[in-house]
Amino acid sequence: MREEGQMNKVGFIGLGIMGKPMAKNLLEKSVELMVNDLNAEAINELVKAGAASGSYTEIGDQCDTVILIVPNGSISQQILFDKGGVAERLHSGAIVCDMSSVTPVESRTCAEKLAKKQVNFIDAPVSGGEPGAINGTLAIMCGGQQDVFDAMQPYFDIMGSTATLIGDVGSGSVTKLVNQAIVNNTIAVVSEAFVLGTKAGADPEKVYRAIRGGLAGSAVLDAKIPMIVERNFKPGGKIAINHKDIKNVVNTAHALDVPIPYTAQLYEILQTLKVHGHMNDDHGGIVQYFEKLADVKVKKGE
């Protein structure tokens, strides 16, 4: 494994809403990147910015570090372990860093399979949405060994404002589940409350300004209410991704015999939004569930 602080060629797989700006930030700091994604247009955009493109096996063969940020854990495992996958050509001492939102079991499975090849693994999911990815201010939650975390720190410093090693492999994924339960439940409660206020005749913008400096204020309130009143559901974090994450929360909690009544109800709210075609909306669009119940829209005054 390379020395702490040293940066070599990095494979970066997953150029979606989060991955593309994260990869661009690495390029802007002169990190040598080889990229891959199913979206050829996204690959071309990164190549124009200075990256090389490569197949999974080329990335495994040429890169000492491989970063993944893809929709779910099964995709991570396919990319790594299917025939023609990255792991076929990874060298002993290489690092795989999965920044996707997956279950701790999926993270540990990847780590165990890679360990047989003397390849290191760290799970490092992120929070901060598209704005954090663009601005390089993501919160990065890590599970793995200290030396692997230290080797990844230069990249984490470019992509995020904080990176914390929580514990062993899987700990980052557990922390992301906690984060997603809090964020999505908070959006739901904020949505329900603002639907109540709007139905009662209060201007939601003025309600927001009145409460944001008090105990009800939060990063979620500041991020989502301005979008909601503008009816702007362009995704920074799609309901589809959060639907998947909350399903992971529920499944993990049930496997551990942890009752989670609020989050279980939240999953059904997200399932209802799925049925009504809102999966590609930003998760601020959770408000639409409560709006439909009350037959009112939280929006700017005319």
Catalytic site positions? 176
Residues 6+ positions from 106 with CB-CB distance below 8 Å: 73, 74, 76, 77, 173
- How far from chain centre, in Å, is Cα 218? 20
Strand partners, 122: 97
Instruction: Find the DSSP H helices in the chain.
Output: 19-28, 40-48, 56-62, 73-81, 104-115, 129-135, 146-159, 171-199, 204-211, 219-229, 239-255, 261-275, 287-294
DSSP at 286: G
Is 162 strand, coil or helix?
A: strand
Instruction: Count CA atoms closer than 13 A to 142's CA, side-chain side.
Output: 24
Angstrom distance (rounded) from CA 115 to CA 112 = 5
Side-chain-side CA neighbours of 186 within 13 Å: the count stands at 16
